[in-house]
């Protein structure tokens, strides 16, 4: 894979790269740069996580060394559970990541975040960060921004310092991570570390636009612990208006999670409705759906089928 092919793969299904020129320079300078993504271990891996996991697999193909941070300390600071609960979730996440088959270094936040130099760096950037900006950076990742605690304001500062202490070239995250990443980039002189931020799109809640995807809301999301019947039921009740492309979560799943894993997607349907359709790329599928050539129920059934092809082997390996 040459540099242009690598760049094309990295940019696929990416919402933003800060900055593209820096990424091009990095690819020329380093054969195996590092990329990291952090996850709070506070419940099973779900659809939102699958978007960044899929992008990590792309980056791995492009020659990147992948580092996954299981942010146990961040989860505690963000009020996602007690020490025992989080420790149990860490073990579940390790099993899930192993089952997915991604080749990565898995690091716990608690392995290095209590070290003196780390905490001194957090304090240094805390002096240059306003409370107002800290609140803005947590709007997408905190459960209750109106009742945000000081621990949650500490969270984004630590995330910026994580990138330095892990020696990371590229920080990957969904768009909700953008404000946090920008704090880290702007503090590069204090931290003496510069990194590139790569952001993926966010999947709309299965309940429809304007709602947050969450497994705590019935029918809103799907996780790797769900059974086939649960996935069928959730997808069947999902928001998916006919011919509608914008903010359609079923199409987003097919684009961001399914399409990168399968060279072809086959849509099965009765001969009286036109028979099966085969798509070698997502764009063709989207075009046919926008023109009314695909019924929403057929699209949902196809989405369920391919999601299960991804999730079933993970469930088997997990056990």
* Tens digits of residue pLDDT in 250-282: 999 999 999 999 989 999 888 888 889 999 999
Q: Please give the Cα distance from 163 to 170 (Å, whole number).
A: 9
Q: Cβ(287)–Cβ(251) under 8 Å?
A: no
Tokens 């990138």 correspond to: 163
**Fold of the 3-200 domain:** Rossmann fold (3.40.50)
Q: Does residue 120 surpass a pLDDT of 90?
A: yes
16-18 and 196-200 strand pairing: antiparallel
Please, what is the average pLDDT of the chain?
Answer: 91
Q: Which CATH number fits domain 228-318: 2.40.110.10, 1.10.490.10, 1.10.240.10, 1.10.20.10?
A: 1.10.240.10
Mean pLDDT for the stretch of residues 303-319: 88
Q: What is the pLDDT of residue 4?
A: 87
Whether 105 shows a pLDDT value over 80: the answer reads yes
| Cα 307 to Cα 301: distance, rounded to the nearest angstrom | 10
Per-residue pLDDT of 287-298, as tens digits, reads: 999 999 999 999
d(CA 216, CA 143): 12
CB burial of 132-141 (b: ≥16 within 10 Å; e: otherwise) equals: ebbbebbebb
pLDDT confidence of residue 189: 92
Q: What is the mean pLDDT of residues 175-187?
A: 92
pLDDT at 139: 66
pTM for the model: 0.92
Domain boundary assignment for the chain: 3-200, 228-318
Alpha carbon distance 59, 26 (integer Å): 13
Query: How many residues make up the chain in this entry?
Result: 319
SS3 39: strand
């Amino acid at each position: 894979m040459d540099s242009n092919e690598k760049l094309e793969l990295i940019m696929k299904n990416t919402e933003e790269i800060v900055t593209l020129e820096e990424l091009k320079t990095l690819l020329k300078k380093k054969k195996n740069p590092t990329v990291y993504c952090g996850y709070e271990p506070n419940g099973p891996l779900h659809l939102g996580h699958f978007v960044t996991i899929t992008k990590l697999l792309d980056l791995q193909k492009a020659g990147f060394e992948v580092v996954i941070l299981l942010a146990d300390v961040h989860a505690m600071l963000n009020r996602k559970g007690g020490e025992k609960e989080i420790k149990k979730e860490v073990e579940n996440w390790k099993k899930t990541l192993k089952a997915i088959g991604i080749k990565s270094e898995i690091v716990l936040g608690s392995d290095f975040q209590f070290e003196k130099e780390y905490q001194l760096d957090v304090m240094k950037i805390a002096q240059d960060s306003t409370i107002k900006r800290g609140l803005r950076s947590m709007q997408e990742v905190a459960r209750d921004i109106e009742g945000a605690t000081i621990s949650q304001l500490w969270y984004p500062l630590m995330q910026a310092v994580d990138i330095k202490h892990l020696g990371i070239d590229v920080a990957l995250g969904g768009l909700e991570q953008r404000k946090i990443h920008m704090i880290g980039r702007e503090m590069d002189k204090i931290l003496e570390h510069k990194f590139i931020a790569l952001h993926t799109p966010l999947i709309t809640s299965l309940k429809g636009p304007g709602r947050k995807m969450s497994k705590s809301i019935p029918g809103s999301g799907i996780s790797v612990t769900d059974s086939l019947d649960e996935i069928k039921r959730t997808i069947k009740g999902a928001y998916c208006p006919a011919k509608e492309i914008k903010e359609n979560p079923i199409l987003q799943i097919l684009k961001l999670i399914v399409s990168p894993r399968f060279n072809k997607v086959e849509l099965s349907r009765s001969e009286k409705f036109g028979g099966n359709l085969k798509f070698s790329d997502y764009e063709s599928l989207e075009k046919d759906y926008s023109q009314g050539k695909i019924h929403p129920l057929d699209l949902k059934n196809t989405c369920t089928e391919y999601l299960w092809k991804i999730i079933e082997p993970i469930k088997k390996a997990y056990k």
